[in-house]
Amino acid sequence: MNHERKIIQTTLNGKIVETISNKSLTSIAKPFLKWAGGKGQILHEIENRLPNIIKQNKVIDSYIEPFVGGGAVFFHLMNNYKIKESTLIDNNKELLVGYQVIKQNPNELIKKLTSLEKDYHKKTEDERKEFFYQQRDAYNRQMKIFDYDNYSESWIDRTVYLIFLNRTCFNGLFRQNKSGEFNVPFGRYKNPRICDAENILQVHNSLQNTNIICGDFTDSMEFVREGSLVYFDPPYRPISSTAYFTDYSMDGFNDDEQKRLANYFRVLDKKGAFLILSNSDPKNEDPTDNFFDDLYKGFNIERIKAKRAISCVGSGRGEINELLIRNYPRK
């Protein structure tokens, strides 16, 4: 099969680096990390509720995601719609390092991950476990001195750590403690796929005309205009004392933050943007809890079914309600 290839030049440490981007890959882009609260299972629910003009024309002029996380919704839309301009924001520095590296230097990342995967698969289980904790400790130590502001070759190595730990840790999740350290234990996988080269290239292609910003959700303000599609996927409000919706980040997202987000939602509504927001439904635990119904009064609030881990034990996984809130169509 012949593939159309595009050569992209970027600058790394003062040197021009060429990246070969395969424009005719056979797969579609999907999240390069497994992310807590990923939206893969409710993509059809979100897509069904897109504005009619977008569903009809298959075109999104401006797409903004202020809590991008793993990016399941973004990649789904990129695979199925023409997005003319997109902006992805998250306050997780580690995550944004990964996005920037895949956007700018995917081939170097693939080379390093491939080598690491080959070495890892040769190890015994005990050797893998020891190696995992060595890498986790090195990753956490580096965090204290890492330059998150200036792109350099060290960002590629940082992303190798990130993807390796995500693919080999227990349950394949990214989680930080209050100090910002990655704290997920070793996972016993027989032959984990550490390097998904084709997907990295697909993600790279998807990010070429995308703004990637590490910051607060309100940093999206300058990119939102009338007709923009904005999807909010904030850290979910815990539905019980044992829920783990917000464990992916060192920064808590409490009720005050939820209220600040609701106020921002109303600000963007006045700009004429199309807004969609997902969150947990507190009525799963307490039918009288109207927290979100009150916060988003006047908007379109729907309850949809989703399977989530609702406690710290496996038996706590089940089908529960989640919220999808839109500022269209008006009630």
pLDDT value at residue 309: 57
Q: Specify the pLDDT at position 176.
A: 86
| pLDDT for the residue 314 | 46
Tens digit of pLDDT for each residue in 198-250?
Answer: 999 999 999 999 999 999 999 999 999 999 999 999 999 987 655 544 444 45
**22-91+215-331: which CATH number, 3.90.226.10, 3.30.110.30, 1.10.10.10, 3.40.50.150?**
3.40.50.150
Could you say which architecture CATH assigns to the domain 93-199?
Answer: Orthogonal Bundle (1.10)
Q: What gap in Å lies between CA 81 and CA 58, rounded to an integer? A: 5
Q: What integer pLDDT is reported at residue 40 of this predicted model?
A: 75
CB-CB contact of 85 with 63 (8 Å): yes
Q: Which long-range contacts (CB under 8 A, 24 or more apart) does 121-129 make?
A: 121/191, 125/188, 128/168, 128/186, 129/186
Sorted by where each begins, the domain ranges of the chain are 22-91+215-331, 93-199
* Per-residue pLDDT at 177: 87
27-64 exposure pattern, b = at least 16 Cβ within 10 A, e = fewer: eebbbbbebbbbbeebbebbeebbbeebeeeeebbbbb
DSSP letter, residue 253: -
Q: Which residues of the chain have pLDDT under 70?
A: 1-26, 37-38, 240-251, 308-317, 330-331
Cα separation of 230 and 223, whole Å?
10
Task: State the residue for tokens 């927001």.
Answer: 277
Q: What is the pLDDT of residues 254-284, one digit of tens each?
A: 999 999 999 999 999 999 999 999 999 999 9
- Percentage of the chain beyond pLDDT 70 is 84
Distances (CA, A) of 271 to 222, 232, 277: 11, 16, 16
Taking the model in full, what pTM does it have?
0.87
